[in-house]
Amino acid sequence: MFVKRAAALVTKYFKDCNKLLTQPTYCSAHSIVKMDSKHVQNGNAVSLTSLPKLQLTSFMQNIDAVMFDCDGVLWLGMDPLENAQALVKKLRSMGKKVFFMTNNSTRTQEEFLEKFNKLGFEATVDEIVGTAFLAALYLKEQGFKGKAYVVGSEGITKELAKVGIDSLPIGPDTVDPSSLRWNPLDYNIDLDPIVGAVVVGFDHHISYTKILKAASYLNSNKCLFVATNTDEQFPARGLSTIVCPGTGSFVSAVKTAAGREPVVMGKPESFPFEYVQRKHNLQPNRVLMVGDRGNTDILFGRQCGLWTLLVMTGVTDIKTMRNWETSQDPVEKMCVPDYYSQDVNEFYQLLLN
């Protein structure tokens, strides 16, 4: 699934680059610069610790903003990683703008801020970009007026409510197994004619009924289809035998049943960057994206023309990154970062010295 989706993204990337020749856009403009850069030609990530001090200083002088993925970069669950708060503080003291780009769809912006504060990170709502928020913003900007069917949690329904969009109730939606005869009528399908959008995010109560309803709403071409993100799995902390399905698995189920592709809000799609770029007028080649996952964070950064730093405290390990460096697959090559470091503490220590 990932390979197929990522292949489509890369195709789009190269198409965008061609489009630039006649129609410049901020994102593809930098992509062309990067295509000519050492990074893309050699395809090898550089260890941050191997950079001469002067080179790192000069690099940082040319960076206006640093974007962080959160889980696996700044914290693991509810545990902040070593010196993550100090790094954010240090970057601010250096005059850098700081943003937090998370694919998590389960919290509102304000709820994210509470978590930041609880874990000791200085932040403002404006610096946080969550996918529930982006989904609501997207529908608002589409001029959407109907009601939404949400496969997801309160993070989404609350963000939708903030922009004046009603949604059908969320939570468990199951049927009594004893009554099932594989007849659609068993599923208590009562489609609301006002529903004009389906939003799929992370849902602990994902069920056959929900997939059935989502696909049925999407049967109408007029119904918008929005996915918060397509992450395949969550890291199963300390339990290597366990696979924790991510939102991508639910999105795949709905899109397969509906026979339609969603508009995806989260990384590696460019919406999170476009939102911040629009508000803060950032130049992509003066932004550093720090992430733990090659196929979301780094692919996102590279597609938007940002500098990229991969830390090894989350999903992608150094072995996988090395395999991508030598891969013949253009998609995997796009997941290779400019730089890598063990963790954010290593980055912090280098900035101190």
Residues acting as catalytic residues: 69, 71
Interface region with Mg ion, contact rule CB under 5 A, candidates 62-70, 120-128, 211-219, 258-266 = 62-70
Mark 326-345 with x for binding to Mg ion (rule: CB under 5 A) and - for no binding.
--------------------
Q: Which of 288, 314, 332, 348 binds Mg ion (CB under 5 A)?
A: 314
Burial of 260 (0-12, 13-18, 19+ CB in 10 A): middle
By C-beta, is 196 or 294 nearer to Mg ion? 294
Q: Which two tokens stand for residue 257?
A: 């049943």
- 130 belongs to the binding site for Mg ion (CB under 5 A): no
CA atoms within 13 A on the CB side of 338: 22
Total number of residues binding Mg ion (CB under 5 A)? 5
Q: How far is the CB of 96 from Mg ion (least distance, A)?
A: 20
Binding mask 242-261 for Mg ion (x = CB under 5 A): --------------------
Question: By CB under 5 A, which span of 86-94, 159-167, 244-252, 307-315 interacts with Mg ion?
Answer: 307-315
CB of 71 to Mg ion, least distance (A): 4
Minimum separation from the CB atom of position 297 to Mg ion (A):
6
Q: Which of 34, 66, 68, 69 binds Mg ion (CB under 5 A)?
A: 69
Strands (E) across the chain are located at 46-47, 65-68, 75-76, 79-80, 97-101, 128-129, 147-151, 195-200, 224-227, 233-234, 244-245, 263-264, 287-291, 307-311, 339-341
Kindly list the distances between the CA atom of residue 1 and the CA atoms of 23, 228, 232, in Å, as whole numbers in the listed order.
31, 16, 9
- d(CA 303, CA 10) in angstroms, rounded, equals 8
User: Which residue in 26, 45, 48, 71 binds Mg ion (CB under 5 A)?
Assistant: 71
Residue nearest to Mg ion (CB): 72
For residues 265 and 226, the answer to whether their CB atoms sit within 8 Å is yes
- The strand pair at 147-151 and 195-200 is best described as parallel
Shortest Å, Cβ 211 to Mg ion: 26
DSSP string covering 169-225: --S-----GGG--S-GGGG-----TTEEEEEE---TT--HHHHHHHHHHTTSTTSEE
Q: Which is closer to Mg ion, CB of 157 or CB of 229?
A: 229
* Residue choice 269, 292, 332, 338 for contact with Mg ion (CB under 5 A): 292
**301 touches Mg ion by CB under 5 A:** no
For Mg ion, the binding residues (CB under 5 A) are 69, 71-72, 292, 314
